[in-house]
Amino acid sequence: MTVHDPILAAAQRARATIPDDAAMLRAAADLTRELSTANPRIYWPDLLASTFIGYAGVAGAIMVDNVPIAIACAFVAMMALYRAASFIHELTHIRKGALPGFRFGWNLLVGIPLMIPSFLYEGVHTQHHARTRYGTADDPEYLPLALMKPWSLPLFIIVASLAPIGLILRFGVLTPLSLLIPPLRAKVVAELSALSINPAYRRRPPEGDFARMWAWQEAGTCLFALALVGSVFAFGWKPLLVYMAIHSAMTVINQLRTLVAHLWENEGEPMTVTAQYLDSVNVPPPAMLAPLWAPVGLRYHALHHLLPSVPYHALGKAHARLIAMLEEASPYHRGNYPGMFPLVGKIARSTMGAR
């Protein structure tokens, strides 16, 4: 629990109760009605190209002896695989039947090899979008980071850098052990089966078709994790260490992106849709680097909270329409920011008020 300036606390409670802006919500719905169809001719080439470039970069980083070239290959691999991995966010919002085979293909190409199968996110992320959950203790993807101690921000990033080690332990060790020890299985499902940042979040056991999907994804990831560790005996340490370094860097970039996806200024109060939008972040053009650190439409995170069903390739068009339609006084304009570093600075300054 955070303790902070009572004036600041009062201001944050006022933000949580900001009334909905009817004009903004109506415009968002009316201007983007025909943009909600996911286009497979965009999704598949984007995913396949990102995956191919990513794994080619991994191979180059492992096989090339020239250190500067190997580092360049690793950087390309990290950025490309980060983009490919970011499609997990799209999977949670794609309408059933809209992209046949995409979920299965993504898991085979990306989810299992990166040990982030989609069951870790599906059924979790949608709770973050629930109007009554966002920003509360029941939101799996929310922490009041701006109200926490200053050391919480570097810790937030350091933990992400250890992701490949944690994922190998989760799938290579705990998955097989938990199948033999029922109490451990219950703990693994509840506490270690979600890509969440809220340590208090507990997940319910899966049921029906989702349970079957969970089972094959977890089995595949378990086998991959074991093969990854076993590769040391066949190929030595270099391939594993290069893979883990690329994976770690990719996860750190994503964690930085997560850090600036919201302002993190709510301390558990239910929020209106407009308040949720204002607690979220767009980094639209002319910010030139945003497509790299917030790929697959994640640069429009605030807009995504208004229109979660609009696919990533249509968010830029939706944003342009709303900017042109809504007056400067509209809350919509207040959700737009120039880049990552000013946002990190803003959140860091907020933590300085916590004590």
Burial status of residue 66 (CB atoms within 10 A of its CB: 0-12, 13-18, 19 or more): exposed
More confidently predicted of 71 and 268: 71
Q: What's the whole-number mean pLDDT along residues 245-268?
A: 95
More confidently predicted of 223 and 149: 223
Q: Which of 299, 291, 281, 289 is nearest to 346 (CA)?
A: 281
Q: What's the whole-number mean pLDDT along residues 339-353?
A: 89
Residues 47 and 104: beta-carbon distance below 8 Å: no
Residues 60 and 78: beta-carbon distance below 8 Å: no
Which two tokens mark 221? 């990831």
C-alpha dist (Å) from residue 260 to 20, 80, 147, 221, 300? 23, 21, 14, 30, 11
Model pLDDT, residue 10: 54
Is a pLDDT exceeding 80 seen at residue 63? yes
Is a pLDDT exceeding 60 seen at residue 31? yes
Model pLDDT, residue 351: 86
Which two tokens mark 117? 């199968």
Model pLDDT, residue 236: 97
- Any bridge partners for residue 282, and if so which? 300, 336
Q: What's the whole-number mean pLDDT along residues 71-82?
A: 98
Q: What is the pLDDT of residues 191-203, one digit of tens each?
A: 999 999 999 999 9
Is a pLDDT exceeding 60 seen at residue 208? yes
**What percentage of the chain reaches a pLDDT higher than 90?**
87
**pLDDT category, 96, cuts 50, 70, 90?**
confident
How would DSSP label each residue in 259-301?
HTTB-----S----HHHHHHTB-B--TT-SSHHHHSTTTTTBH
pTM above threshold 0.85: yes
Q: What's the whole-number mean pLDDT along residues 74-90?
A: 98
Model pLDDT, residue 48: 98
More confidently predicted of 3 and 219: 219
The C-alpha atoms of residue 36 and residue 20 are separated, in whole angstroms, by: 23
Q: What is the pLDDT of residues 160-193, one digit of tens each?
A: 999 999 999 999 999 999 999 999 999 999 999 9
Is a pLDDT exceeding 70 seen at residue 13? no
Is a pLDDT exceeding 50 seen at residue 47? yes
Collapsing DSSP states into helix, strand and coil, what is residue 57? helix
Residue/partner pairs of 128-134 with CB below 8 Å, 24 or more apart: 129/305, 129/308, 131/270, 131/273, 131/276, 132/270, 134/270, 134/271, 134/276, 134/305
Model pLDDT, residue 11: 54
Cα 311 to its chain centre, rounded Å, is 15
Model pLDDT, residue 1: 38
Model pLDDT, residue 2: 46
**Which residues in the chain belong to E strands, given as ranges?**
none
Cα 108 to its chain centre, rounded Å, is 19
Average per-residue pLDDT for the chain:
93
